[in-house]
Amino acid sequence: MGEFLHYLNVRKGHLLDLTIAHAQIVLSAIVIATAISLVTAILVYRRERLAAVVLSIVGTFLTIPSLALFSLLIPFLGLGTKPALVALVLYAMLPILRNTVVGLRSVDRAVLESARGMGMNRLRRLAR
């Protein structure tokens, strides 16, 4: 245990740099996956069959083991942060997309009618 603590103390600057780099990759992946998933969910939530197809396609990304996904991505993207970012985006999309579709579908029809009656357009209703 003492050797490990010594290692942490000696390399704390380098470990902090790597931790910050890791956090930046994860945050970037979350932002990208959220943007893609929100737009996709808004486009498909009204069409049941299209939403099912899109959710199935995105769901297949989670069935691909990470090592296999990296072996597919590295020849095209090389080593480094790009394949990690793509993999994290693919893995993060399904929960965001599925929950956004469910959330949009669960809005009460009476609330939508009230908003329409108040003169709100689609974009404004979506924002509210």
pLDDT at residue 125, rounded to an integer: 79
79 neighbors 112 (Cβ within 8 angstroms): no
43 neighbors 57 (Cβ within 8 angstroms): no
**Lowest-confidence pick of 51-60, 78-87, 97-106, 119-128:** 119-128
Higher pLDDT, 127 or 46: 46
User: Domain extents for the chain?
Assistant: 2-127
Reported confidence tier of residue 126, pLDDT bands at 50, 70, 90: confident
Domain spanning 2-127: CATH superfamily: MetI-like (1.10.3720.10)
pLDDT in tens, 63-108: 999 999 999 999 999 999 999 999 999 999 999 999 999 999 998 8
CB-count exposure of residue 21 (10 Å: 0-12, 13-18, 19+): exposed
CB-count exposure of residue 51 (10 Å: 0-12, 13-18, 19+): buried
H/E stretch holding 46: none
